[in-house]
Amino acid sequence: MTDKLVEYLLDLIADKEGAKPILDRVERYKKLPPIEKEAESFSLYLELEKFIVTHKLPAIKGSYTAESLRNEIKGTFGVKEFSPRLNALFGISGAERVIFSEIILEALIKQLLTIFKPSRIQSLIDEITRGQPIEGIEVKGDKVDFSASERKIFSVSKPWFGLISINYRNLISALYWRARDELGEEKANWILQDAHRSVQEKYGYLPWAQLVIGVMPEDFLTKERELEVLTSCYKELANAIGTVLARGEIRGLRKNVSQSLTSVLRGVRLNPDGSFDFSALPKNLQAIKEDGAKKLTESFSRLISVMYRSARDGLGEETAGRILEDAYKSVQEKYGALPISSQVLQAIPEGVLEREKLEFRAKEELERGVKRMDMLRGEFASVSAHELRSPLVPIITYSELLLKDKKHKLAPEQKKKLEVILSSAHRERELVDDIMDITKLEAGAMRFDMQKVQLADVIKEAVVGQRAAAEAKGIWIKAKVQRGLPPVHGDPKRLTQVITNLIRNANRFTDKGGITVSVSSGDGQAIVEVQDTGTGIAEEDLGKLFRKFSQVGPRREGGTGLGLVICKAIVEAHGGKIWVKSKLGQGSTFSFSLPIRKSGKG
């Protein structure tokens, strides 16, 4: 924002009551270095704009609105000298969607920075945005720098804002779910709500502030918030139709519209320019105790039908249909594919936008079908696992009792066959457990009991549990733990499962020597290694690891082909990474990293 524009806006608010805080903010802004000025220019402009609009400062005609002020600035200054974000706000239709996606993302990241390290958040951002239009977002201290991504997004004449909004929604959801897994649902929801509240407090006077709902996780859209967004969409739609019809001088339009303003639209007025004064709407909605969305849709449907019939009678059916289609597209361009888009279409009269209505109905049916299939898959996996486990319990129990029975000694051949039965039953149970785990992980249904964890304790438990199996093969197993190792934030049961799986894997492919399980720390990470002196893995087979049902090297007894896949999913759910180093004939080292918990930060 140029100094000339700042002075222009200051002239508008000079000597106005309550202006001192914003004047102080401007003075601080003037003292900033050029780079910091560019970063602060957008929020400063909106703060100045908010003061001018909310104090209803006089314009050439009436008082300023956000739109009229921007149009005046564009006519006076042009926009080429502004920052990318301000350029977009003034010059690119629909840019508000992207800008407010960035604003809510920035608010969420600032909340997360009170808990997690910047490097941790940056790592997740880089992972999610790699190769996407929004790639290049940087966390710098307690600030978020969008300049690199904005230069790409706003450098083309018609950016694909729909795709970009989806990218932002995916990133926000990933950050939210990571917080939810590690901090619990209640704390994660509080963080997201606080971020949303801070945006609404700062920018709530703008109609575009409702756009942030479109990039929030689906769980966030409560009935109250859904009603807010639906109301904004309907108001936008009615204004878009009304302003076009007002230019057509349609006979009887005002009278017909006034008669249709009933129920929640009682007290709403049609302005001379075709827009509506909706100041009575919030009070009407508050008076409705239930079915607010239904009543709202019915009222706006009645209003829009009346406007459509008036347009059809005065301008012809084709023109009337086109006006409604253009109005709906303008709403969709601004608000994107929100979950309430199908409800907005319900207010469009029959015969208009039928293809869009059909597409939404098909999409909703598909989504219901997918959810149903996911639920059935989970139920099937659960029932199947129970049915498969049930017969294994008596097989394992009675086999163990027979092998331990000292009164009725078994012949060597009988004992050998019984051990085969027991071994096969254990392997079958392991396969069932692994299938259940992978099903839960893929469906996002596995829940983690996140807490402060000492990895030394987890490693000792896993090593003790696998010592007998190693000694039975004549190999050794030992643990090496760095002293004073800081704790990590994780689920001790699942981390034990990862290390146990890696030890079992090493045991299967090690005939001489042994296995070393070690843990050390560095660069804010705890590194766990399971090193063996076994057969090793050929270089061409390394890429096949961590795939479902993939087993490399010589076929060995045991193993489901799912263990490494489960290990990878659990480690990544903890914010870590897993990898392997190996050479054929020289053993293997499987390693994984976990962020260290330090000073209350993840």
Question: What is the pLDDT at residue 381?
Answer: 63
Question: Which band of pLDDT confidence, cut at 50, 70 and 90, is reported for residue 503?
Answer: very high
Question: What is the pLDDT at residue 592?
Answer: 94
Question: Which band of pLDDT confidence, cut at 50, 70 and 90, is reported for residue 534?
Answer: very high
Give φ, ψ of 432 to 5 degrees: -60, -45
Task: Give the residue with greater pLDDT, 288 vs 516.
Answer: 516
3-state secondary structure 567-579: HHHHHHHCCCEEE
Question: Who contacts 446 (Cβ-Cβ below 8 Å, separation ≥6)?
Answer: 437, 440, 573
Q: What is the pLDDT of residues 324-344, one digit of tens each?
A: 988 888 777 666 555 556 777
Question: Which band of pLDDT confidence, cut at 50, 70 and 90, is reported for residue 602?
Answer: very low
Judge whether residue 408 has pLDDT over 50.
yes
Judge whether residue 80 has pLDDT over 80.
no
Q: What is the pLDDT of residues 338-388, one digit of tens each?
A: 555 677 787 888 888 888 777 767 766 765 665 666 666 666 666 666 677
Question: Which band of pLDDT confidence, cut at 50, 70 and 90, is reported for residue 599?
Answer: very low
- The percentage of residues in the chain with a pLDDT greater than 90, rounded to a whole number, is 12
The whole model's pTM is what? 0.45
What is the number of alpha carbons within 13 Å of residue 312 lying toward its C-beta? Answer: 12
Locate 32 and state its tokens. 């900033």
- Beta-bridge partners for 332: none
Locate 100 and state its tokens. 């407010």
Judge whether residue 155 has pLDDT over 70.
no
Question: Which band of pLDDT confidence, cut at 50, 70 and 90, is reported for residue 394?
Answer: confident
Locate 308 and state its tokens. 């459509």
Q: What is the dihedral of CA 235, 238, 242, 243, to 10 degrees?
A: 50
The CA angle 360-361-366, to the nearest 5 degrees, is 95
Judge whether residue 89 has pLDDT over 50.
yes
Measure Cα distances from 180 to 215, 306, 532 in Å. 17, 47, 36
Question: Which band of pLDDT confidence, cut at 50, 70 and 90, is reported for residue 533?
Answer: very high
Judge whether residue 515 has pLDDT over 90.
yes
Locate 111 and state its tokens. 């909340």
Q: What is the pLDDT of residues 191-201, one digit of tens each?
A: 888 888 888 77
Task: Give the residue with greater pLDDT, 308 vs 33.
Answer: 308
Question: Which band of pLDDT confidence, cut at 50, 70 and 90, is reported for residue 458?
Answer: very high
* Mean pLDDT, range 427-438, rounded to an integer: 73
Question: Which band of pLDDT confidence, cut at 50, 70 and 90, is reported for residue 601?
Answer: very low
Judge whether residue 405 has pLDDT over 70.
yes
CA 132, CA 34: separation in Å to the nearest integer? 29
Judge whether residue 163 has pLDDT over 70.
no
Most confident of 132-136, 200-204, 373-377, 474-478: 474-478
Question: What is the pLDDT at residue 448?
Answer: 78
65, amino acid identity: T
Q: What is the pLDDT of residues 414-426, one digit of tens each?
A: 888 888 888 788 7
Question: Who contacts 550 (Cβ-Cβ below 8 Å, separation ≥6)?
Answer: 544, 561
* Mean pLDDT, range 523-542, rounded to an integer: 89
Judge whether residue 52 has pLDDT over 60.
yes
